[in-house]
Amino acid sequence: MRVLHVEGGRHLYGGAFQVLHLIRGLHARGHENLLACPRGCDLAAAAAPFAQVQGLPMHGDADLLLVPRLLRLIRASAPDLVHLHSRIGADVMGGIAGRVAGVPVVHTRRVDNPEAAWLVRLKYQLHDRVIAISQEIGRVLTAGGLPADKLRVVRSAVDWQRYARPGDRAAAAQRLGIPADGLWIAVVAQLIERKGHRVLLRALPALVATHPDLRVIFFGQGPLAADLAQEARALGVADQVTLAGFRTDLDELLPCVDVLVHPALMEGLGVALLQAASAGVPIVASRAGGIPEAVRDGENGVLVTPGDAAALSAAVAALLADPQRRRILGAAGQALMAREFSIAAMVEGNLAVYRELLDESRSAASGSQRSRSRST
């Protein structure tokens, strides 16, 4: 099978990292990958051993010239199908290019924000299948008007064994420039509004009053970095907060964390949740979007109402005060990841969608050929 993947993200996290997992898995199973992505992006270098990479200019949702660029690539490479992995223009422009070329098109939807009904009707006509990475995203899509027969659910995955190893707290503290003692809370997310960092900051004064040696580490980059630092100063918790930026060594750092907090206001599923659970870290998260599919309340973490700083503070405080419960939730999280969120399961789920779609395409082509034969 020859698959053209289209990913518009420039950084190797979130959805782009899932694309890399998929490309590796397909390559290992003997399938051929082509990857269209922004020139010079992080994914291009990482995927090169497993795919023919074509760097293209990609300028976002209004980049109409992406259609002819992708159309030329499709015609030159003759893939069996096109898999669109992101928005950022790829969902619409890639869908148009695939339709014009007459190639089956799959689109993966990773976010849970509702779309206008008219947009759902127009956009998803371009796609033969839409893969949601969580049941909640699927629910949002069908509620917006996506035909149920187009929808498939294939959850995101994590290399859980990579994270399931003991951490070296002293080495991690040295890398991060923080004390090795005390309790560590981490947030792993882009520094953008919908990830809810401000909710945790509002919850911190009460937590610090009880645990003055508490450290809060924000892993990630984004436009809110300066605002979050300023808000931490205004709340009197700047000494407890570290903005650690984007990290490629989370597999070594997360096992050293006592609690992962994910206060997102909207979330498709949350790859950081899968990583933390794999590392045996208990989680406190918002009951938003697809989060309850990764964080089972009372099993591997605690869920609270999105935006409720008091509830978040209380849930975190309860875990910080109970090491035994943290260990139980952490062990259950590792078991959950191994059972339901493996890379192998994600790759096979996508392959099942590909095969189903190609079988339909071949059947339709065969039927058309028989009709022409009868007419002559």
Could you tell me if 242 and 141 lie in one domain?
no
- Answer yes or no: is pLDDT of 73 > 90: yes
Could you tell me if 137 and 188 lie in one domain?
no
Look up the CATH number of the domain holding residue 285.
3.40.50.2000
pLDDT grade for 374, boundaries at 50, 70 and 90: low
Give the chain's domain count.
Answer: 2
pLDDT grade for 373, boundaries at 50, 70 and 90: low
pLDDT tens for 227-260 read 999 999 999 999 999 999 999 999 999 999 999 9
Burial of 166 (0-12, 13-18, 19+ CB in 10 A): exposed
Could you tell me if 181 and 217 lie in one domain?
yes
Q: What is the C-alpha to C-alpha distance for residues 284 and 286, in angstroms, rounded to an integer?
A: 7
Could you tell me if 166 and 28 lie in one domain?
no
Could you tell me if 181 and 285 lie in one domain?
yes
pTM: 0.84
Could you tell me if 89 and 206 lie in one domain?
no
- Tell me which residue range forms the domain holding 73: 2-157+342-375
pLDDT tens for 314-363 read 999 999 999 999 999 999 999 999 999 999 999 999 999 999 999 998 87
Q: What are phi and psi of 107, to 5 degrees?
A: -125, 130
- Answer yes or no: is pLDDT of 371 > 70: no
DSSP class per residue in 48-105: TTTSEEEEE----TT-TTHHHHHHHHHHHH--SEEEE---TTHHHHHHHHHHHHT--E
Could you tell me if 315 and 166 lie in one domain?
yes
Could you tell me if 280 and 172 lie in one domain?
yes
- Answer yes or no: is pLDDT of 124 > 80: yes
| Out of 40-54, 83-97, 277-291, least confident range | 83-97
Could you tell me if 198 and 66 lie in one domain?
no
First CA to last CA distance, the chain: 33
DSSP 174: H
Could you tell me if 256 and 370 lie in one domain?
no
Could you tell me if 280 and 327 lie in one domain?
yes
Could you tell me if 13 and 113 lie in one domain?
yes
